Amino acid sequence: MTPDQTARNRWLALVAIRIATAMGAVFGLIVLARAPDTAMRVLGAAIVLSALYAMAVVPRGLTAKWRSK
């Protein structure tokens, strides 16, 4: 695999992770908005917060791992 292909594959992986975590945050917002009771609202908020956390941490972790190689 050439360096260009490796860079492209890594970029695609980062974009896919960002899209997936954004979709998770939107799902959490939908759960939060349509929640009939407090437990579901807490679940929706937890999903949103965990998706935002993953959106911030996972790409940085991968880039740090890839940079060291």
With respect to residue 1, please indicate whether it lies within any of the assigned structural domains: no
C-alpha 19/C-alpha 10 separation (Å) is 14
User: In the predicted model, what is the mean pLDDT of the chain?
Assistant: 94
With respect to residue 5, please indicate whether it lies within any of the assigned structural domains: no
With respect to residue 10, please indicate whether it lies within any of the assigned structural domains: no
C-alpha 61/C-alpha 25 separation (Å) is 20
Nearest in space to 53 (alpha carbons), one of 45, 63, 41, 42: 45
Mean pLDDT to the nearest integer, 6-33: 96
What is the pLDDT at residue 20? Answer: 97
On the question of pLDDT at 68 being above 80, the answer is no
Instruction: Give me the percent of the chain exceeding a pLDDT of 90.
Output: 86
With respect to residue 8, please indicate whether it lies within any of the assigned structural domains: no
With respect to residue 3, please indicate whether it lies within any of the assigned structural domains: no
Distances (CA, A) of 69 to 18, 24, 41, 63, 64: 22, 30, 42, 10, 9
Mean pLDDT to the nearest integer, 45-53: 98
Amino acid letter for position 43? L
With respect to residue 11, please indicate whether it lies within any of the assigned structural domains: no
How many domains are contained in the chain? 1
Domain extent for 44: 16-67
